[in-house]
Amino acid sequence: MTPIEILTIITTMLGGLALFLSGMDTLSDSLTSLTGGALKKVIGGITKNRFLAYCFGTVVTAIVQSSSAITVLSVGLVNSGIIELGNAAGLVIGANLGTTATAWMLSLNAIDGGSLLLTIIKPSFFSPVLAIIGVAMRLFCKSEKTKITGSALLGFAIMMIGMNLMSQGISPLKSVPSVRKTLISFANPVAGFLVACAFTMLIQSSDAIIGIVQAFALSIGMSYGMSIPLICGAQVGTCITALLSSLGTTNNGKRTALLNLYYNLLKTIPIMVIFYSLNALVGFSFLKQDVGGIGIPVVHTLLNLIGSVVWLSLAGVIVSLAKRTIPLSEAEHQEHINTLTMLDKNLLRTPPIALSQANKAVVLLSKTVGDAFLSIMGIRQDSEKAEQARLLCKRSERFLSQIDDYLLQISEHDIENKDMAYLYMLGSVGTAFGRMGKASERILEMIVKVADSPEIMTQEERKEIDILGEAIYEIIQLTINNFTARNTTVSKTIQYYREEIMELSAIAKRRHVRRIHKEGRHQHQDMLYTDICYAQEQLIDYCDMTADALIRYQQDTGAGRQTQSVTDERSRKQIHELFRDKYEVLGFERDE
């Protein structure tokens, strides 16, 4: 061959590959833009069942034409805490099967156009038509979704045109003996596997390798023996995309990328070892047959079907390998405890999903505050509770800072009115629980002082503080459960509880004042007791603040669950009776 012919082949081949990759990237990005928000809304629920996650991953990957996109999405979802690492296994395995749809689409080029119908369904015929339609939609349509749909059509057309260009470019090589000799060398399983793996890592697309193999099969001719190692190597090489995307994530994100790598290694290498061992014993004659355009998607699909059937049931093994490769360190454990990993910045582009994650963060904040106050109540029985309560109070402070920052970032995006109302509600509730944490920290230091110096308070005073503490813990738990359930009936009940507990606190302070005058107590003792009471009253106010925020949100949007109103006087009296029966027996007497 002349230098000009060689240069023409190289430039045509590389130009076709560039078009193929560009078209596939455009198609994948466009389809992901059209479906991405919906995917993230349902994916958390879907992945709770491994088989459903597998089916979901298969279908979605077949639609968006990119297993890497779904695998990278899985890395982000695990990193942000939307799904657990174990639940991501089904999604990753399904994504690998779904990517075989690309090979089947490319195989349409192998159809012989013996009739008008067969000619019409060949991509080489309809791709230019799709390109014209796509360009027209992008240029003349005003709807953003229509423009994205046009981009998807244009991307598909460019991908198919690139595939045809590669086939045409390498067609002259069929008469070159050295090229044929090189292709035959790929029949060596190890050589073919490593070459395909390395080249796939370089261009980060297994679909491109499959496309190149199909182009060679259609233009020059390749046997099954040459194709199988290349297909297997491409499956492992494509894992580089997820590995690179996980570099800036948490260890859980990195484990998800390893999950994908280990699955593809365990899927391909055992099958190749078993297959070629049997070939050495029996000798499969079909390995020398021409693979054609259809044989490649068949091999690709069988490889992933066998792998998914075997490893879907053994997904725990792959998850265990990923966890052992990156074990959970004490530093990571502490970081995980003190960091709201569900507040992933990658989700900010989809405000409803970001708000859902912020809601989870506020729930975790509320439970942290509840646990902190429970630890404070147990300090006198167990001195170690003080340090535990101090850690929980500091943690709640860090949580509030992260939540406020995340909500601010969400508000900077274009969001709907109902989502803005949801954001305001989460901000108010988060602030209320954060202030509870600060008030609890003040109570903690005073209770520690009482525990270290028992003579500061009498037994009777400590008993009264405990009674108030029990009442306040009850309303805190009611507030936490109410925020989770969004029940406005309970929100109104919290407001009535507040009235009763405030009355109990007022009674306690009046009793204490009478004791001070009667016994001639020191002023410092008076201040410590009343300071604890006032700090506890602040907790009640913040519970009421939470209830009020939920009521206003329900009134503004109609969201939440509302049962029969309890605003009548009878319900108020029932709560009054409940407190009389519950607390008077412990020593309080109401000033009726």
**Residue 39: predicted pLDDT:** 55
Query: How far apart are alpha carbons 511 and 147 in whole angstroms?
Result: 74
Q: Are residues 354 and 308 in the same domain?
A: no
**Residue 566: predicted pLDDT:** 43
Q: Are residues 424 and 468 in the same domain?
A: yes
Q: Are residues 249 and 354 in the same domain?
A: no
> Taking the complete model, does pTM exceed 0.75, yes or no?
no
Reported confidence tier of residue 437, pLDDT bands at 50, 70, 90: very high
Q: How many domains does the chain have?
A: 2
* Average pLDDT taken over every residue of the chain: 78
Strand partners, 290: 223
Query: How far apart are alpha carbons 125 and 539 in whole angstroms?
Result: 72
pLDDT at 569 over 80: no
Q: Are residues 98 and 231 in the same domain?
A: yes
Q: How far apart are the first and last CA of the chain?
A: 109
**Residue 239: predicted pLDDT:** 84
**Residue 72: predicted pLDDT:** 65
Reported confidence tier of residue 592, pLDDT bands at 50, 70, 90: very low
Q: Is residue 541 part of a domain?
A: yes
Q: Are residues 377 and 469 in the same domain?
A: yes
pLDDT at 564 over 50: no
Q: What is the pLDDT of residues 330-380, one digit of tens each?
A: 555 555 666 777 787 777 877 888 888 899 999 999 999 999 998 888 887
Reported confidence tier of residue 426, pLDDT bands at 50, 70, 90: very high
Q: Are residues 303 and 359 in the same domain?
A: no
**Residue 563: predicted pLDDT:** 46
Q: Are residues 72 and 199 in the same domain?
A: yes
pLDDT at 493 over 70: yes
Q: What is the pLDDT of residues 250-297, one digit of tens each?
A: 677 788 888 889 999 999 999 999 999 998 888 888 888 888 778 888
Q: Please, where are the H alpha helices in 204-291?
A: 206-219, 224-237, 239-245, 251-282
Phi-psi group of 165: left, alpha or beta (phi > 0 → left; psi -120 to 50 → alpha; rest → beta): alpha
Q: Is residue 334 part of a domain?
A: no
Query: How far apart are alpha carbons 329 and 143 in whole angstroms?
Result: 50
The residue range of the domain holding 102 is 3-325
CA nearest neighbour of 259 among 214, 324, 200, 213: 324
What DSSP string describes 316-365?
HHHHHHHHHHS---HHHHHHHHHS-TT--GGGGGSHHHHHHHHHHHHHHH
Q: Are residues 303 and 362 in the same domain?
A: no
Q: What is the pLDDT of residues 139-165, one digit of tens each?
A: 888 888 888 888 878 887 887 777 667
Long-range contacts formed by 142-147: CB under 8 A, 24+ apart: 145/34
The H or E element that residue 11 is part of is helix 3-46
Q: Which of these three, 325, 357, 372, is where a domain ends?
A: 325
CA nearest neighbour of 91 among 105, 117, 72: 72
Q: Is residue 129 part of a domain?
A: yes
Q: Is residue 331 part of a domain?
A: no
What CA–CA distances, in Å, run from 152 to 24, 145, 228, 292, 483? 9, 11, 31, 28, 42
Query: How far apart are alpha carbons 411 and 116 in whole angstroms?
Result: 56
> What single DSSP character describes residue 276?
H
Q: Is residue 592 part of a domain?
A: no
Q: Is residue 339 part of a domain?
A: no
What CA–CA distances, in Å, run from 546 to 430, 436, 501, 534? 8, 11, 16, 19
Q: Please give the distance of CA 27 from its chain centroid, rounded to a whole number.
A: 23
Q: Are residues 232 and 353 in the same domain?
A: no
Q: Tokens 């429970």 label which residue? A: 374
Q: What is the CATH number of the domain that holds 514?
A: 1.20.58.220
Environment class of 145 (CB within 10 Å of its CB; exposed 0-12, middle 13-18, buried 19+): exposed
Q: Which of these three, 274, 290, 325, is where a domain ends?
A: 325
Q: Is residue 49 part of a domain?
A: yes
> What single DSSP character describes residue 109?
G
Between CA 210 and CA 217, with CA 212 as vertex, the angle to 5 degrees is 95
Q: Are residues 123 and 244 in the same domain?
A: yes
Q: Are residues 225 and 179 in the same domain?
A: yes
Environment class of 388 (CB within 10 Å of its CB; exposed 0-12, middle 13-18, buried 19+): middle
Q: Please give the distance of CA 11 from its chain centroid, rounded to a whole number.
A: 42
Q: Are residues 119 and 250 in the same domain?
A: yes
Q: Is residue 86 part of a domain?
A: yes
Environment class of 424 (CB within 10 Å of its CB; exposed 0-12, middle 13-18, buried 19+): middle
